[in-house]
A and B are shown apart, each in its own frame.
Chain A
Amino acid sequence: MSGASSYRNPPVVAGLLDRVRRLAVGRAPLRFMEFCGGHTHAIAEYGLRSLLPDNVRLSSGPGCPVCVTASGEVDAAIALAARPGVTVATFGDMMRVPGTAGSLSDARASGADVRVVYSPRDALEIARACPAAEVVFLGVGFETTAPVVAAAVLEAEASGVSNFSVLSLHKLTPPAMRAVLDAGEVRLDGIIGPGHVSAVLGSEAWGFLPRDYRLGCAVAGFEPTDVVSAVVALVEMVAGEEPAVVNAYGRAVTAAGNRVALQMLEQVFAPADREWRGLGFVPNSGLQLRPEYADWDAGLRFDIRPSSAPEPPGCRCGEVLRGVIEPRQCPLFGRACSPASPVGPCMVSSEGACAAHYSEAEEQ
């Protein structure tokens, strides 16, 4: 019942697509934004874009944490890794993200101690096993990931591990969604809301979309029927109903979210202004460790703060992340920039819009 196969049932996907077609026929072109990079990846993997009618388009948003990590943030992580005695532990997808002078992967090749971990708890374990090392975990990710990192900080506190700290680059999704809409560069007809962010945050966190922007939002899971049923809900709203927040991922998402996770996030972190690749500085769109947890704040411990840095020359990731251009409108796409040799982060991450569009083009 919870198996993924139930949500990949081809006749059901076909039926839902048929419903989209019937609702959309004769309408002016509709454009929905999938906020989340996980959806961008799923849409490419299942070839959903080509199965939708011509007048229903999906655009990627800024919901790929790796992609929105600014150059200056990567530079700060590399500067940390260059400190003697420091071990930087990170999720694997950050390794190839370019800063102004290379990536963490390049830093490791030059001798820095950079380790890929699956969980912040693994970083905590490294700290326990190597008391002489200063282990810094790169806190990258949205509301899905921040509670997990908060839990690791609390575990470090409880077990008295003092050679573990976190460089918090965490970002918050609703402020980014607002930033994209407030910029007024794209006309959208609805939003596919992020599934696992909403598992923590609750679907009601998106209530500002219908209220302040008159946009429908359908929170979706990551299987084909999940994504297509969200599109059905969005087209239905355009077709007459009032815009609202529809929870199309009821098995994982509640209106109020995971209270335990949110409480832990709020105990350890406080909102902070943060720079996003593509969006610039967005007020209160990031998380920093609260003063009570300053001992685990790598930024304070090593006096390192990300500063603004230029993006790679010619790279148009920023416009892709805001939905202003499609990846193939970038002159570098598929020429100077490919998954094998990415120029910008949207081509690095498999959740990045450029990598997803590249894999779709390969399929066709």
Chain B
Amino acid sequence: MCLAVPTMLTEKREDHGTVELAGVSREVSLLLVPEAQVGDYLLVHAGYGIAVLDQGEAQRTLSLLNEIASASLDT
């Protein structure tokens, strides 16, 4: 029910825009994420963007998980 899929914002027109996932375009409301910019990844839930994914945090998480995983396997 709380399913929300990361999709890239490809167009922004005032309070709505277009997102693209796996080649499929979809209209999305940006009322809840007014800060979203073209190129951002949004979590989209029931036709509304609900969060803008933080790319820096995404990268930090991936590096950290890699580190924990390899440290555990190497010892």
Residues of A within 8 A of B (CB): 1-4, 6-7, 11-16, 18-19, 22, 36-38, 64-66, 91, 93, 118-122, 140-142, 144-145, 147-148, 151, 154-155, 194-197, 199-200, 225, 229, 232, 248, 250-253, 258, 260-261, 264, 349, 351
Contacts and interface: CB of A to CB of B under 8 A. Distances in A.
If over half of B's interface residues share one DSSP class (helix, strand or loop), that class is named, otherwise mixed; here it is mixed
Nearest to A93: B1
In which size bucket is the chain B interface?
35 or more
A-B pairs, 9 with minimum CB distance: A15-B69, A119-B47, A250-B57, A251-B58, A19-B72, A2-B41, A196-B2, A144-B2, A199-B51
Interface of B: 1-4, 6, 8, 29, 31-34, 41, 43, 45-48, 50-51, 53-55, 57-62, 65-66, 68-73
A148 B73 contact: no
A274 to B, nearest CB: 16
A225 B72 CA distance: 14
Contact of A151 (B32, B54, B61, B72): B32
B62 to A, nearest CB: 6
A148 B47 contact: yes
A148 B46 contact: yes
A36 B48 CA distance: 20
A349 B55 CA distance: 32
Contact of B53 (A144, A251, A258): A251
A284 B53 CA distance: 31
A246 to B, nearest CB: 12
Contacts of A36: 2
Given A144-B50, A196-B43, A252-B51, A260 B33 contact: yes
